[in-house]
Amino acid sequence: MFENRAKPLLEWYKKEKRSLPWREDATPYHIWVSEIMLQQTRVEAVKRYYARFLEKLPTIEALAECEEEILLKLWEGLGYYNRVKNMQKAAKVIVEKYDGEMPSDYDKILELPGIGSYTAGAIASIAFGVRKPAVDGNVLRVLARQEEWEKDIAKTSTKKEAEYILEEQMPENDAGEFNQSLMELGATVCLPNGMPKCEKCPILNCCKSKKHGTIEQYPKKSGKVKRRIEKKTVLLIQKQEYFAVRKRPDEGLLAGLYEFPNQEGFLSEKEVLFFVEKQNLVPIQIKKIENAKHIFSHVEWQMQGYFILVEDTELKKSKDFIFIDKEEASENYPMPSAFSVYKKYMDKKLE
């Protein structure tokens, strides 16, 4: 598989590859940052995060030493915050064991926290020319369509088989380019959901699913796990120009981030007022605001909101939360995108 396809893939990639900042300066650190950011995130969205992240943390040492809240603020909006926490854990290992330089050995890269076979393969091949594959969903889709693969691409065994096949067929001197050509083909031509641009494919004449008219049948993938529904009542509690926020627990979903106070379930106005009073606050006005929804990988939050104005007191910290203004929220308090619908109310007044 692919033994006769490397040459047309590489020629196509050199002509058609997108100009991306991490390709212009393919240092191990830059490749690592970009690959972690690109997981579950569109390329165009990643560009600005990538530039900001490297401006603030230009080296692995800087990443290792960064305060967690600053780190999470830099990652705000990308989601999956454990990714950047694991990056920092790995950075500390690199500083301690490898003098701040990413190791060039694939197995040593793979041992680092938060780095799986795909990311290790990408770093090792692109930065160091190591003949190791980097198999992501894009690459699996290309393989499945080219060979009419009946295997379930969601299974680890299928990915392992793909890695073995590609490593066997990988060109001797162009490992990084070969991996990137397959990634690029899946990202820009062999698109998912029955929308491939086959007329632009450099290896179309080798594609069995195109030949047999079965493209929409591939890849084969087992059904997703049904998401758990969680209902929440989100509270925008305002005192003068300040709004209440609280820090989430250090473990679990969105660990260590800040959020608007919220309660499980859909509370009535009376129940909301009772909760606010329990925080040693005196509500003056309350208004129902819009509903929102946020989808995580295995959980869906269904949210309703209330805007509550409370009396101005000397209290800067209640039983469960602190009061901050919009500027502080923007600069110092990392808040997940799950609450983005409600963040805009920090610009408004209760009428």
- The residues annotated as belonging to the active site are 35
Across-strand partners of 232? 264, 303
- Residue 24's identity, in one-letter code, is E
Q: Phi first, then psi: what are they for 227, rounded to 5°?
A: -70, 145
Across-strand partners of 323? 244
Which residues, other chains included, contact 176 with Cβ-Cβ below 8 Å and sequence gap of 6+? 26, 125, 126, 127, 129
Q: And the tokens for 186?
A: 């899946």
Gyration radius of the chain over CA positions: 24
Count of alpha carbons within 13 Å of 219, Cβ hemisphere only?
Answer: 24
Q: How far apart are CA 31 and CA 127, in angstroms?
A: 8
Q: How far apart are CA 334 and CA 256, in angstroms?
A: 9
Q: With contact defined as beta carbons under 8 Å apart, do 54 and 33 qualify?
A: yes
Q: With contact defined as beta carbons under 8 Å apart, do 332 and 258 qualify?
A: no
Q: And the tokens for 225?
A: 């796990």
Q: And the tokens for 127?
A: 């930065």
